[in-house]
Amino acid sequence: MDLPIGEGISAAVDFMLEHFQGAFDFFAAILKFLTGGLTDLLGWLPAWVVIVVLAGLALWRVNWKFALFVVAALGVVLGMQLWEQTMETLALVLAAAIVALGLGLPLGVAMAKSDLVAAVLRPVLDFMQTLPAFVYLIPAAMFFGLGQVPGAIATVIFSMPPSVRLMNLGIRHVDVENVEAGRAFGCNPFQLLFKVELPLAMPSIMAGINQTIMLGLSMVVIASMIGAGGLGNTVLTGIQRLDVGLGFEGGLGVVVLAIILDRLTQSFGQAGRKDSPLGRLKKLFGGEGSERTPT
Amino acid sequence: MDAKLSVRNVYKIFGPHPKRALEMVRQGLGKDEIFEKTGMTVGVSDASFDIREGEIFVVMGLSGSGKSTMVRMLNRLIDVTAGSVLLDGRDITSMSRKELIEVRRREISMVFQSFALMPHQTVLQNTAFGLDVAGVPRAEREARALEALDAVGLKPNADSYPDELSGGMKQRVGLARALAVNPGVLLMDEAFSALDPLIRTEMQDELLRLQSEHARTVVFITHDLDEAMRVGDRIAIMQAGEVVQVGTPEDIVRNPANEYVRSFFRGVDVSQVFSAGDVARRDQVTIIERPGVSVRAALSRLEEHDRSLAVVHDKRRRFEGVVTSDSLLSCLRGLARDDDGRIEQAFVKDIEPARADAPLADVMSLAAESPWPVPVVDDEGRYVGTISKAALLQTLNRSDQGEE
Ligand SMILES: Nc1ncnc2c1ncn2[C@@H]1O[C@H](COP(=O)(O)OP(=O)(O)OP(=O)(O)O)[C@@H](O)[C@H]1O
Ligand SMILES: [Mg+2]
């Protein structure tokens, strides 16, 4: 049998191209603004500024060992002459993450609040996550052509599901009595969300954010196939020229970014209240001796 | 008597078609039958009672009898299926969302079994939660929260986080959070059940102390009889969704409404439930002390009533002593012929009256050792009655009747 599913999808894409171009253009404009702005910013900043900022974050959120690692690893990237590509990739990941989270987190809240929304979204999310990453590239390229923006769009779609899911899960798993307490003391729905549910769901939300960023990073590399640029290009060039060394260098750059982003976002997830920025700073300047055990 | 909260024919059915199940309940079908036929659960069925201003009203019953459901309908965390709940005469069940939120912010607050504190907030912030939600400015709400913390003895821990506190301390915060909004009604759903026994009694005392300083209307859920007896002014007993009896602990022990209620109280230490005043009877001959009452006169009054014992009190009923025919006679023997004797010369020595509010347990040894009934006086020393060994045994036996 030859079910014409492929044709159907093509027709649907054509239809959407014809009728929703405006919406797509708007979406693309936002992404273009973000990716462009971030790429420009990170490209314009001298490397040492970026390194100092990231190392500072590492010191604040994790520990001095990780800060040292950040400096060393970014130094290696610089030495491999891959700084520019790494910053392009970082910009793309951050832009895609901002949009993915901007859409995903509110969707997660809607899903937690309404069983109907949850029932509709769940299969869609499953679909989005199980489809091979490459498949997103085709419609993205069709709608938006080649370049950074379609790459970012494919990344947004591919990386969004975990933040939706984990937001939903986090809110639904907030202790019933805490929610009852919120209601019993007179919270309106808005207060209940912001004073009870979101704070208590924070570890789960942060795990979702972390996963979204990590998935985004993996997708951004793939998206270089449609001209998204960055480290993915380096890897791709390595493959095309059968240049193992170049491919490996590109891969190493990705790994460095992955480790830094992962540790930093995870640290926000674990952030108990004792790790408030102020407390951290105090600890930093108050007593060098009171070093926390490295995790 | 003012009803602070008034529950009128309240029903709660859990399930997709509550009206259908409601019809069946009203036709007299039982909870189990309805569940079998429709799959719906009758949480509460035709509950009606009044909760008085300033009392601790205990709701007691086995697991699943509907206690939590009942108390949650009082602040409408759960909507009733039928009936009404009146707070100071205003029907909570028909309030708008906005009115309801106002009531929850100012008039009714709640204490939870597993404390339900917000882990990301300090003890102070937790305590100020209700005020924060109500939009009270920061300085004022923190001042009021500190006051509430002070009342439960946790002021020094204001800046701690909940996970740094013991269970008992956490529940003090829960209590302070509820008190901080200065509510007229306090709902406590098994508030002390998660605490170990020692801390639990301590918290009960704490509640009673707070209550003695400022009597609020407290609805206290528990499945623990001792707790119910300790804190409850009145107790409502729930069985399979129905309120089967409402009354003071003594009422319920004396006249249990049915076998279920009786079984609750089986094995209850009656001597803890009743006080000396509950058991004391006025069936002794009394003699009012005045100038004319002599030993001889007293003796003839005893013989006249064919008794061997009399209680002597003054004109204001203030207890003075006990005389017996033996004590009177031996006193007479020591008297000169023409001396009628003053009655206090004949008082039986070593008879100490018991206080009416003393637990019966304290009086028991007294009554057991004494050959005479134990006189009981109120807090102004006025004679209330006596407790005889026979009356004591009768009372103690009452609780065993159900076991045969
Ligand atoms: N949300 C709900 N949906 C369906 N049935 C419920 C719901 N909440 C309670 N019930 C049922 O209503 C009945 C009363 O439950 P409730 O929680 O009020 O009992 P309880 O007296 O508080 O018991 P426990 O001592 O175990 O807390 C039970 O049969 C319970 O299964
Ligand atoms: Mg319960």
State how far residue A123 is from chain B, nearest Cα, in angstroms. Answer: 26
Closest Cβ–Cβ partner in A185, A200, A274 for B105: A185
* Buried residues in B159-190 as b, exposed as e (16+ CB within 10 A): ebbbeebebbbbbbbbbbbbbbbbbbbbbbbb
- Cβ-based neighbour number of residue B365 at 10 Å: 9
User: Is B130 within 8 Å of B180 (Cβ atoms)?
Assistant: yes
Residue with the larger pLDDT of the pair A204 and B340: A204
- Cβ-based neighbour number of residue A40 at 10 Å: 11
Mutate to test the pocket of ligand 1, among B10, B12, B67, B222 (most ligand atoms within 8 A of CB): B67
Domain A28-271, classified CATH 1.10.3720.10, yes or no: yes
Q: Residues B271-290: pLDDT tens digits?
A: 777 788 877 887 777 777 77
**Selection from A177-181, A286-290, B354-358 with the highest mean pLDDT:** A177-181
pLDDT tops 80 at residue A19: no
pLDDT tops 60 at residue B67: yes
CA-to-CA distance for A267 and A70, rounded, in angstroms?
15
DSSP string computed for A89-147: HHHHHHHHHHHHHHHHHHHHHHHHH-HHHHHHHHHHHHHHHHS-HHHHHHHHHHHH-SS
Measured N-to-C along each axis, helices A277-286 and A47-61 cross at an angle, to the nearest 10 degrees, of 90
What are the residue ranges spanned by the domains of chain A?
28-271
Establish if A107 touches chain B: CB-CB under 8 angstroms: no
Q: Which residues in chain B (55-94) have CB-CB distances under 8 A to chain A?
A: 72, 75, 77
Residue whose token pair is 């602040």: B75
Establish if A271 touches chain B: CB-CB under 8 angstroms: no
- Ligand closest to CA A177: 2
Residue whose token pair is 């019993």: A184
Q: Residues B133-160: pLDDT tens digits?
A: 999 999 999 999 999 999 899 999 999 9
Span of A165-169, B21-25, B74-78, B390-394 with lowest mean pLDDT: B390-394
Closest Cβ–Cβ partner in A180, A187, A200 for B112: A180
Length of chain A: 295
Residue whose token pair is 């010191």: A59
**Residues contacting B335, CB < 8 A, separation 6+:** B295, B341
pLDDT tops 70 at residue B232: yes
Residue nearest to ligand 1 atom 18, measured at CA = B66
* Sign of the dihedral through C-alpha B131, B132, B135, B138: positive
User: Is B110 within 8 Å of A179 (Cβ atoms)?
Assistant: no
Domain B3-272, classified CATH 3.40.50.300, yes or no: yes
Q: Residues B102-137: pLDDT tens digits?
A: 999 999 999 999 999 999 999 999 999 999 999 999
Residues of chain B with CATH 3.10.580.10: 277-398
| pLDDT band for position B404 (cuts 50, 70, 90) | very low
Residues of B whose CB is below 8 A from A274: 161
Residue B249: its pLDDT value, please?
87
Mutate to test the pocket of ligand 1, among B13, B36, B60, B68 (most ligand atoms within 8 A of CB): B68
Residue B369: its pLDDT value, please?
78
CA-to-CA distance for A236 and A110, rounded, in angstroms?
39
Mean pLDDT of B195-212: 89
pLDDT tops 90 at residue A117: yes
Residues of chain B with CATH 3.40.50.300: 3-272
State how far residue B48 is from chain A, nearest Cα, in angstroms. Answer: 23
> Does the distance separating the beta carbons of A185 and B133 come in below 8 Å?
yes
Residue with the larger pLDDT of the pair A286 and B246: B246
CA-to-CA distance for A269 and A208, rounded, in angstroms?
9
**Residues contacting A116, CB < 8 A, separation 6+:** none
Domain B277-398, classified CATH 3.20.20.70, yes or no: no
User: Is B297 within 8 Å of B340 (Cβ atoms)?
Assistant: yes
Residue B66: its pLDDT value, please?
93
Residue A1: its pLDDT value, please?
59
Residues of A whose CB is below 8 A from B120: 199-200, 202, 273
Residue nearest to ligand 1 atom 26, measured at CA = B63
Residues of A whose CB is below 8 A from B116: 175, 177-178, 180-181
DSSP string computed for A167-224: HHHHHHTS-HHHHHHHHHTT--HHHIIIIIIHHHHHHHHHHHHHHHHHHHHHHHHHHG
Establish if B401 touches chain A: CB-CB under 8 angstroms: no
Residue A281: its pLDDT value, please?
53
- pTM to 2 decimals? 0.77
> Does the distance separating the beta carbons of A180 and B109 come in below 8 Å?
no
Residue A277: its pLDDT value, please?
52
CA of B86 to the centre of ligand 1 (A): 23
Residue A45: its pLDDT value, please?
87
CA of B242 to the centre of ligand 1 (A): 13
Ligand 1: residues with CB < 6 A are: B 14, 41, 43, 61, 63-69, 223
Closest Cβ–Cβ partner in B109, B114, B119 for A185: B109
CA-to-CA distance for A150 and A167, rounded, in angstroms?
26
* Sheet with B234-239: strands ordered across: B108-111, B185-189, B217-222, B56-61, B234-239, B242-247
Establish if A198 touches chain B: CB-CB under 8 angstroms: no
Average model confidence (pLDDT) across chain B: 87
Q: Residues B354-387: pLDDT tens digits?
A: 888 888 888 877 777 778 888 888 888 888 888 8
| pLDDT band for position A291 (cuts 50, 70, 90) | very low
Q: At B34, phi and psi to the nearest 5?
A: -65, -40
Residue B292: its pLDDT value, please?
64
Average model confidence (pLDDT) across chain A: 84
pLDDT tops 50 at residue A288: no
Mean pLDDT of B170-186: 94
Nearest residue in B to A272, CA atom = B120
